């Protein structure tokens, strides 16, 4: 993607003194509900009102959205409040209807991003549009798939592009509905710093009580804004009730968020950061040295197993290591999630070393 800076112009057009905000209910339920929430948000930091018109469901029988009639409610909400309108699209047909209704912001959902054919059909339908088009990360932690979706849209002549980080599915039980895997959006941000990046804390957490925490983490990582599900009666919402906040709660979140400066502006700050980063560099080098030594021991273990015709994977031993490291990590202020992920990677690398020894002729 060349001339990437063309993609950020749309964000600058808002001339905001605060992060960019998209908010509204997970699903449009009734005209009255849509208008009530939109009016509650119009005099706030919200720039775009969102409402789900089509809702993909894993299994049939659940509420799958009100469909096309909801677009009329959004048009009315825009006329009454002046807010821009946004919704998720999953098919070319959705895109055509949204364009006909003059919806301002469209985004591709996580399930759709995982299907390059579907993304290409959407890109072809939206070709050359001046609407803002965002793409959520795919369900699985696949950086190439996410970037591929962006590239398909960009190749279709869509310049007002952005990405939404909504977390990734996992079979493991964690405190998140979808684990953040922060390193993936950070890598995308590093590669394309001119591509607006929004956080979707509603889908990451699945829990309204964690919205502020995750949004603050994202802003501390220089995210450009947020998309937060907001409902006038969250507990009775027709979909995703647990992760939606009230308009008043959303406004309180705005007040509680701390907007950090991109960098310090004093010599004292620069001196302290230089020293601390030098310490980090030394510690990182030590970590790599220790990991190298650990893998040499793994090689020796692999040799002993080969000589005695013993299988590489020893589940009991691995479970013991994991439990011990979780306990030790907690004493050092390290989260269980981090310890499990770290030692899984170390364990996998160790297995790879031992397999090379066992299979060496």
CATH code of the domain covering residue 350 = 1.20.59.10
- Comparing CA positions, the residue from 185, 159, 186, 231 lying closest to residue 13 is 159
- The answer to whether position 104 is within a domain reads yes
Tell me if 164 sits within 8 A of 136, measured CB to CB: yes
Regarding whether 160 and 69 lie in a shared domain, the answer is: yes
* 208 Cβ contact partners less than 8 Å away, ≥ 6 residues apart: 202, 234, 242, 243, 244, 245, 249
Q: Are 234 and 285 in the same domain?
A: no
**Same domain, yes or no: 48 and 161:** yes
Same domain, 241 and 291: no
Q: How far is CA 103 from CA 172, 182, 207, in A?
A: 37, 30, 28
Tokens of 312: 């590489």
C-alpha 61/C-alpha 160 separation (Å) is 36
What CATH code is carried by the domain that includes residue 163?
3.20.20.70
Q: Count the neighbouring beta carbons within 10 Å of the beta carbon of residue 354.
A: 24
What pLDDT is recorded for position 9? 73
Q: Which of 337, 339, 336, 357 is nearest to 347 (CA)?
A: 339
Backbone angles phi, psi at 214, to 5 degrees: -70, -35
Domain interval for residue 320: 267-359
Per-residue pLDDT of the chain (361 residues; tens, 9 = 90+): 554 445 557 999 999 999 999 999 999 999 999 999 999 999 999 999 999 999 877 677 778 899 999 999 999 999 999 999 999 999 999 999 999 999 999 999 999 999 999 999 999 999 999 999 999 999 999 999 999 999 999 999 999 999 999 999 988 788 999 999 999 999 998 889 889 999 999 999 999 999 999 999 999 999 999 999 999 999 999 999 999 999 999 999 999 999 887 777 788 888 898 889 989 999 999 999 999 999 999 999 989 988 899 888 888 888 888 899 999 999 999 998 899 889 989 999 999 999 998 888 6
241/272 same-domain check: no
Q: Which residue in this structure is represented by tokens 């803002």?
A: 132
Q: Do 54 and 122 fall within a single domain?
A: yes
Residues near 146 by beta carbon (within 8 Å), at least 6 away in sequence: 113, 135, 137, 138, 163, 184, 188
Same-domain pairing of 288 and 341: yes
Pick the last residue of a domain from 256, 276, 304: 256
How many domains are contained in the chain?
Answer: 2
Residue 261 lies in a domain: no
**Structure confidence at residue 314 (pLDDT):** 82
Does one domain contain both 40 and 174?
Answer: yes
Cα–Cα distance measured from residue 163 to residue 331, given in angstroms and rounded to the nearest whole number = 37
What's the pTM value of the predicted model, to 2 decimals? 0.83
Determine the Cα–Cα distance for residues 298 and 352; give it in Å rounded to an integer.
9
What pLDDT does residue 3 have? 44
What is the pLDDT at residue 39? Answer: 98
For residues 333 and 233, state if they share a domain: no
In order of 28, 60, 238, 239, the CA distances from 64 in angstroms are: 11, 9, 10, 9
Q: Are residues 85 and 132 in contact, defined by beta-carbon separation less than 8 angstroms?
A: no
Gyration radius of the chain over CA positions: 24
Alpha-carbon separation of residue 284 from 243, 289, 291 (angstroms):
38, 9, 11
What Å distances lie between residue 77 and 35, 103, 119, 252, CA to CA? Answer: 5, 11, 28, 23
CA 153, 158, 159, 164 dihedral sign is negative
Contact 160, 7 (CB under 8 A): yes
Cα separation, 64 vs 17, whole angstroms: 36
Same domain for 337 and 249: no
Q: What is the pLDDT of residue 8?
A: 53
> Which of 221, 256, 291 lies at the terminal end of a domain, its last residue?
256
Rounded distance, CA 6 to CA 19, Å? Answer: 20
Give the list of residues 6+ apart from residue 99 with CB closer than 8 angstroms, or none: 126, 129, 131
Task: Answer yes or no: do 148 and 48 share one domain.
Answer: yes
The DSSP letter of residue 138 is P
Give the three-class secondary structure for 220.
helix
In 10 A of CB 45, how many CB atoms?
Answer: 20
């Amino acid at each position: 993607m060349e001339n990437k800076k063309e993609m950020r112009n749309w964000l600058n057009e808002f001339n905001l003194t605060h992060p960019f905000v998209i908010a509204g209910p997970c699903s449009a339920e009734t005209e009255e509900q849509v208008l009530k929430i939109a009016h509650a948000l119009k005099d706030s930091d919200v720039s775009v009102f969102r409402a789900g018109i089509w809702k993909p469901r894993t299994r049939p029988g659940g509420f799958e959205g009100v469909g096309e009639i909801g677009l009329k409610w959004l048009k009315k909400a825009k006329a009454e409040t002046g807010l821009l309108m946004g919704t998720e699209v999953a098919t070319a047909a959705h895109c055509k209807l949204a364009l006909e209704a003059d919806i301002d912001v469209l985004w591709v959902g996580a399930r759709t991003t995982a299907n390059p054919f579907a993304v290409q059909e959407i890109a072809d339908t939206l070709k050359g549009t001046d609407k803002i088009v965002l793409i959520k990360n795919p369900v699985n932690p696949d950086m190439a798939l996410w970037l591929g979706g962006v590239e398909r849209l960009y190749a279709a002549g869509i310049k007002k592009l952005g990405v939404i980080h909504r977390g990734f599915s996992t079979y493991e039980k964690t405190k998140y509905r979808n684990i953040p895997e922060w390193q993936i959006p950070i890598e995308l941000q590093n590669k394309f710093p001119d591509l607006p990046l929004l956080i979707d804390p509603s889908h990451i957490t699945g829990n309204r009580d964690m919205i502020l925490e995750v949004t603050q983490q994202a802003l501390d990582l220089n995210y450009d804004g947020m998309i937060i599900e907001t409902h006038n009666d969250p507990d009775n919402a027709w979909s995703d009730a647990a992760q939606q906040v009230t308009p008043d709660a959303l406004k309180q979140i705005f007040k509680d968020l701390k907007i950090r400066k991109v960098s310090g502006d004093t010599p004292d700050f620069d001196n302290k950061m230089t020293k601390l980063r030098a310490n980090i560099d030394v510690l990182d080098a030590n970590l790599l040295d220790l990991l190298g030594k650990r893998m040499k021991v793994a090689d020796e273990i692999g040799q002993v197993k080969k000589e005695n015709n013993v299988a590489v994977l020893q589940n009991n031993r691995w479970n013991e290591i994991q439990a011990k490291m979780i306990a030790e990590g907690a004493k050092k202020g390290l989260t269980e999630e981090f310890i499990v992920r770290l030692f899984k990677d170390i364990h996998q690398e160790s297995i790879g070393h031992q397999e090379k020894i066992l299979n060496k002729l």
